[in-house]
Amino acid sequence: MFALLPLSSGLFMGWALGGNASANVFGAAVATRVVSFRTAGALFSACVIVGAVLQGRAGIETYRELSEQDLTSVVIASLSAALCMATMTLRGIPVSGSQVIVGAICGVGLVSAHVDLSILVRILICWVSAPVGAFFLALIIHRILLVVLTRIPMSILTRDQLLFSGLVVMGCYGSYALGANNVANVTGVFSGHLQGIGIGDLELAVVGSVAIAFGGITFSKRVMQTVGARIMKLDGLTALVSVTACALTTHFFAVVGVPVSTSQAIVGAICGSALVSSGTGLHLDQLSRIFVGWFVTPIVALILSSSLYAVHQGILLAQAAPPLKLP
């Protein structure tokens, strides 16, 4: 039982990430009142666990290769990331779980001088590609759906039912993709460190996804309101387009094996939808607040983890130093 205590920081991170990231796939559905918050939480939980178990191990392997660490440094990195993520979730700001944990890993890596720069560059390229890809996907999907909906004769009621049903389906798919991509942000840093007690990558995927699911159920309502209504007032079409573009982008990078930000993907997708709609209803003050959070959070995680690890190393050196001999 005590051997599992180091993993508690990962569970904390999973809870905080679930509270933050679940809004990216079901925030639009809840804001448009297609489903209740409780229903969204239940669907999110089930799908995120399935996604993590079936396809989550590729991202876990990427984090294992990023930096050589011992169990203590892993716990410090995970705890630092979790504290930053929980703080942003309490403030209702969607942030990047991958940026937060990588910032924390790099903070420890800077002190210990163990960071694989080639892996880091690969991650950074994917971070930039995710919101840009979601933006352009939203443009394409919006135009396709608009053509389909205008050319097929149907009543307004039938149209709305199709859009709302699609929103629930894509929310489930987005939850699956989130689990596949983001479970590495929760327990990926522990890969290879707990095999002595029988916890490999599959077990880490299961434990991490359960923590994400719990966070989505208990801690996500504030961020759902931000994503679903405060960035841009979404109708059925723009909501479906945004969630679909976010889900496809996230799933693509899950297959690639690089965890990316669902927060950045959904914001990129919403901006793409806004462009097609001539920018109507896009709240720039909320966007600027989110952008600041994206920039600041990984830096804070880096500073916090490096400081905690430096203090830990200083304590070890002090304990190892020979006692002073008085004359």
159-208 pLDDT, tens digit each: 999 999 999 999 999 999 999 999 999 999 998 888 888 889 999 999 99
The residue among 30 and 177 whose pLDDT is bigger is 177
> Ramachandran region of residue 235, left (φ > 0), alpha (ψ -120 to 50) or beta?
beta
Domain assignment present for 322: no
pLDDT category of residue 4 using cuts at 50, 70 and 90? low
Please report the pLDDT score of residue 287 as a whole number: 79
Domain assignment present for 320: no
Q: Is pLDDT at 254 greater than 90 in this prediction?
A: yes
Domain assignment present for 313: no
Q: Where are the alpha helices (DSSP H) in 188-220?
A: 201-218
Q: Give yes or no for a contact between 17 and 85, defined as CB atoms under 8 angstroms apart.
A: yes
Domain assignment present for 317: no
Lookup result for tokens 């190892």: 320
pLDDT category of residue 227 using cuts at 50, 70 and 90? low
Q: Where are the alpha helices (DSSP H) in the chain?
A: 8-21, 23-31, 37-55, 57-66, 71-90, 97-112, 117-151, 156-187, 201-218, 221-225, 236-256, 262-276, 284-320
Domain assignment present for 1: no
Please report the pLDDT score of residue 280 as a whole number: 55
Q: Is pLDDT at 33 greater than 50 in this prediction?
A: yes
Most confident by average pLDDT, 80-94, 104-118, 130-144, 195-209: 130-144
61 CA to centre of own chain: 17
| Tens digits of residue pLDDT in 41-95 | 999 999 999 999 999 999 998 888 888 788 889 999 999 999 999 998 888 788 8
Task: Find the mean pLDDT for residues 102-119.
Answer: 85
Tell me the one-letter amino acid at 160.
D
Please report the pLDDT score of residue 173 as a whole number: 97
What are the structure tokens assigned to 292, written together? 């600041």
Please report the pLDDT score of residue 32 as a whole number: 77
List, in order, residues 6 or more apart from 14 with CB less than 8 Å away. Answer: 183, 186, 187, 207, 208, 209, 210, 211, 212, 214, 215
Q: What is the mean pLDDT of the chain?
A: 87
Percent of the chain scoring above 90 in pLDDT: 48
Please report the pLDDT score of residue 243 as a whole number: 93
Task: Find the mean pLDDT for residues 31-42.
Answer: 86
Domain assignment present for 90: yes
Percent of the chain scoring above 70 in pLDDT: 92
155-167 b/e (C-beta count within 10 Å ≥ 16 → b):
eeeeeeebbbebb
Q: Is pLDDT at 237 greater than 50 in this prediction?
A: yes
Q: Give yes or no for a contact between 261 and 177, defined as CB atoms under 8 angstroms apart.
A: no
pLDDT category of residue 319 using cuts at 50, 70 and 90? confident
Please report the pLDDT score of residue 45 as a whole number: 94
65 CA to centre of own chain: 19
Q: How far is Cα 271 from Cα 237, in angstroms, rounded to an integer?
A: 14
For residue 221, how many other CB atoms are within 10 A of its CB?
16
Domain assignment present for 312: no
Least confident of 2-16, 50-64, 135-149, 250-264: 2-16
For residue 262, how many other CB atoms are within 10 A of its CB?
33
The residue among 241 and 67 whose pLDDT is bigger is 241
Domain assignment present for 318: no
Q: Is pLDDT at 327 greater than 80 in this prediction?
A: no
pLDDT category of residue 21 using cuts at 50, 70 and 90? confident
Q: Which of 89, 111, 112 is nearest to 100 (CA)?
A: 89
CA angle 211, 115, 267 (to 5 degrees): 50
Domain range spanning residue 165?
A: 7-307
Cα separations in angstroms, 38 against 41, 61, 177, 191, 247: 5, 33, 20, 33, 21
Task: Find the mean pLDDT for residues 137-150.
Answer: 92
> What domain count does the chain have?
1
Q: Is pLDDT at 229 greater than 80 in this prediction?
A: no
